[in-house]
Amino acid sequence: MKKFLKSSLVLLTACTVVLAGCGNNNNANSGNAANGDKGTNAGTATNAPAEAPKSDVKIGLVTDVGGVNDKSFNQSAWEALQALETESGAQIKYLQSKSNADYEPNLNQFVKGGYNLTWGIGFDLGDALLKVAKENPDANLAIIDSVVDAPNVESVTFAENEGSFLVGVVAGLTTKTNKVGFIGGMESPVIKRFEVGFKAGVEAVNPNATVTITYAGAYDKPDTGKSLAATLYDAGNDIIFPAAGATGNGVFNEAKSRNDAGGTKVWVIGVDKDQSLEFGDDVTLTSMIKRVDEAVKKVSQQVVDGTFKGGTTTVLSLKDNGVGLPETSKANVSAEILAKVDEYKQQIIDGKITVPSE
């Protein structure tokens, strides 16, 4: 009997140790997100598996005011770093800017913290990133959608006008009312490329269609996007293309409400990501994909590999698959229209068509 009790106590002690170990592992892998200074949100990745490779490389990402969960531009960039973390073990973190005043201190927080690469996501960060780059010549920085002329900065821009031309072709051949709309975020050269490319695509295939252009004046105002969309839909526009970050989420919300209520079918054209994956095929006609994720991952990988080249600018276009339409477009766009899109795509790549950019 004594031998049995002694064995039972040993077994109970072993189980207790195992359970305690499991509890410690859960705490270690729980991750965290914290609020930074000056109205800035900070986040760290939380999904790296325990067996992931380890790396001393640290990469920071500063969003524009659209935020890291904008379901568009900034989110694509952050998802790219999350993928890099899983594959390489690099340490990643983001700082979310709530106003333009946050850009410089956020960038400096990573640079002064010894990060191997600091990203600025968006045209609006250009001036702040240039200042930080000049003040910290030994730091590596990179930016999306702006060209920063500094030897320690890699700049990546896109031919948004080319991809927007193609979704303009879709809109021009799909509209039932011959009225389509465009909602931009802030007026800038980048958003202008979206606007003029879209308008040119619509007009190329449907000269009877009108394109109504409006700007929200913000990338982080879904309510404003919803209101502007309501005005355009009320005026007979049955397709809207928003290039406005999180503001564009409001356009989807308005379209979904109208379609759920019945009546005239309305559509939204997604931007930056395949937004049908977020908002559904019932409201997303197609999307103008901009491979921010591929650009961020490629440049960040250079830092991991030790091949980062500052002072360079890369422009990603249709021929580079930097912009274009997703495969999911076939859910709502006819094979005939997609064939026409392919025709125009090839003509643009071959130089037979030059899409306006301003």
Predicted pLDDT at 45? 53
Give percent of the chain above pLDDT 70. 85
Average pLDDT, the chain: 88
37 has pLDDT over 70: no
Q: Contact at 8 Å (CB) between 228 and 183?
A: yes
Sheet holding 33-35, edge to edge: 33-35, 41-44, 91-96, 58-62, 117-121, 141-144, 153-158, 312-316
Per-residue pLDDT tens over the stretch 186-213: 999 999 999 999 999 999 999 999 999 9
Low-confidence winner among 16-20, 82-86, 250-254, 300-304 (lowest mean pLDDT): 16-20
Per-residue pLDDT for 185 more than 70? yes
Residue type, 233: Y
pLDDT digits (tens, 9 = 90+) for 94-126: 999 999 999 999 999 999 999 999 999 999 999
Residue 150 pLDDT class (50, 70, 90 cuts): very high
Task: Give the orientation angle of helix 160-174 with respect to helix 189-205, to 10 degrees.
Answer: 40
- The predicted model scores a pTM of 0.79
CA distances (Å), 142 to each of 27, 202, 245, 291, 296, in order? 34, 34, 20, 16, 9
> Which pLDDT score, from 0 to 100, does residue 44 have?
55
What's residue 90's pLDDT? 95
- CA–CA gap between residue 213 and residue 184 (Å, rounded): 8
